[in-house]
Amino acid sequence: MENENLLYYGDNLDVLRLHIKDESVDLVYLDPPFKSDQNYNVIFREQDGTKSKSQIKAFEDTWHWDITAAASYQEVIETCSDDVSKAMQAFRNFLGESDMLAYLSMMAPRLVEMKRVLKQTGSIYLHCDPTASHYLKMLMDSIFGVNNFRNEIVWHYRTGNLAKKQFQRKHDIILFYSKSGNSFFKPIDIKEYYVQVYGPGFKPSFKGRKHGEDKYGQYRMSFIDDVWDISAVFTLSKEHLDYPTQKPEALLERIINASSKEGDIVLDPFCGCGTTIVTAQRFNRQWIGIDVTHLAVTLIKHRLNDMFGGEVKYKTVGEPKSLPDAIALAKDDAYQFQWWSLGLVGARPVEQKKGKDRGIDGRLYFHDEPVGGKTKQIIISVKSGHTGVAHIRDLRGVIEREKAEIGVLISLKEPTREMKKEAASAGFYESPWGKHPRMQILTITDIFDNKGIDFPPQTNVTYKKAGKANKSNQNNSNLF
């Protein structure tokens, strides 16, 4: 693990226990599901920019008291320190065997592991919202110690739905704790921060103000305080990637700059579409990201590539690396298998529903005409079980119905001779680059051998692109 950026696919409890050494990490930022009782969907955009009707459930934020929660609760009571055990028992007395207790029973062992992997000089920032922040603070007190509580940061933003029965809810809470009294912390000077954000030539907003005065004309200390007014990632912003609950890089910039140094190791065990990872990379930190969905892992790979090109080196762990691994993933979770294999060919998943999108598991969009030309599409069907010639015929019917240019069957199993013959009979799509078979069959073994879909090169526009990282101008608007 020395000097290597790592992206793990998997449940963070397993990854932390199996792969991350004691006292090896300088900074943890985590943004777990908040127990909002919602499903978070990835709503991909159509090529004209409108929201797609289809959406993919990226992750659930609904917890139930069941046998798994009860086992997790029991394990915490029996194996964790006295303080943690007492806090969890108090929660049980107060909350009963409820969904909130299930949520806290999921969080407790993970937070204990995060404390284990932090160095003595390290810090942890737990991002949550007022749904559970009061319980999480008590849990953090029991794990990290009341003495190591540093701040309850209020992140204030302006987006969200209109509320009519209470004041508008426009903030999240970030609980900041250190591992010990000997933690690293670099206060961020307000003036320095303006200059860092807007560049060395920045002057106008200081005209007529004294050092330490903010844009509202109020005097503040010269160091940034614990109420942060930072714009959320809105749909039209350059950072926006269609991943639910994506956090702004500006938020992570503050955390990373205050609680780590160049070369330090930053861990995000619920890393989503990789905001912590790309910000850590921009500020020359080493990073470790963990997420339990292949959708997130695929998005992070695209984001890193879009922002840094080939410049960033990292290893992915937990993804299938061989045919037996792929078979195991398909057996374990057919959707994760689909998302993983679609990600490998640069396609995105399609919501599984009856009717219109029947027979379609993924889509890939490309542009092979001069600017303003038509968006073309490739339709993908993924089969992890038995396949036969009927699947090729069905897919051919689907590409005709959808007026798609190319159809691809991704299969775990080798295709039969009849399947290949049927595919060959579909002819070719002709692009300015030449001829591309209209019906293609790719096995997982082909993909491991670096074979991809045959379509015009460099024309894939399926994923929304993250803007290129510009290290010299770490520019972000709406920071104050």
Residues lying near ligand SAM in the complex (CB under 6 A):
11-12, 31-33, 59, 243, 245-247, 270, 272-273, 275, 290-293, 296
Cα separation, 377 vs 346, in Å, equals 12
* Minimal distance, residue 283 CB to ligand SAM, in Å: 16
Between 68 and 375, CB nearer to ligand SAM: 68
- Residue 179 or 247: which CB sits closer to ligand SAM? 247
The residue (of 289 and 415) whose beta carbon lies closer to ligand SAM is: 289
CB nearer to ligand SAM: give 32 or 362. 32
Nearer to ligand SAM, 56 or 88 (CB): 56
Q: How far is the CB of 295 from ligand SAM (least distance, A)?
A: 8
Give min distance, CB of 29 to ligand SAM, in A.
Answer: 8
**Secondary structure of 364-390 in HEC code, one letter for each residue:** EEECCCCCCCCCEEEEEEEECCCCCHH
Neighbours of 119 (CB within 10 A): 19
As measured in angstroms, the least distance from the Cβ of 174 to ligand SAM is: 11
| Long-range pairs of 217-223 with CB within 8 A, sequence gap ≥ 24 | 220/190, 222/189, 222/190, 222/191, 223/187, 223/188, 223/189, 223/190
State the minimum distance, in angstroms, from the CB of residue 181 to ligand SAM.
28
Structure token digits, residue 119 = 């160095």
Q: How far is the CB of 13 from ligand SAM (least distance, A)?
A: 6
To ligand SAM, the closest distance from the beta carbon of 57 in angstroms equals: 10
| Cβ closest to ligand SAM, residue 33 vs residue 346 | 33
**Least Å distance between CB 272 and ligand SAM?**
3
Q: What are phi and psi of 101, to 5 degrees?
A: -65, -35
Sign of CA dihedral 467, 469, 470, 473: positive
Q: Coil, helix or strand for 124?
A: strand
Q: From the CB of 133, what's the least distance to ligand SAM, in Å?
A: 14
Burial of 265 (0-12, 13-18, 19+ CB in 10 A): buried
Q: Which residues pair with 123 in a beta bridge?
A: 27, 178
Q: Which is nearer to ligand SAM, 28 or 290 (CB)?
A: 290
**How many CB atoms are located within 10 Å of the residue 237 CB?**
16
Provide, rounded to whole angstroms, the least separation between the CB of residue 236 and ligand SAM. 17
Which among 387, 389, 335 has a CA at the least distance from the CA of 362? 335
Between 99 and 357, name the residue whose CB sits nearer to ligand SAM.
Answer: 99
Q: Cα separation of 143 and 165, whole Å?
A: 36
How far apart CA 180 and CA 284 sit, in angstroms, is 25
Decide whether 231 or 445 has the Cβ nearer to ligand SAM: 231
- Backbone φ/ψ region at 232: left (φ over 0), alpha (ψ -120 to 50), beta: beta
Whose Cβ is closer to ligand SAM: residue 7's or residue 140's?
A: 7
The residue sitting closest to ligand SAM, measured at its beta carbon, is 272
Q: With CA atoms as reference, report the closest residue to 109 among 80, 146, 71.
A: 80
Rounded to 10 deg, the angle between the 334-344 and 323-332 helix axes is: 140
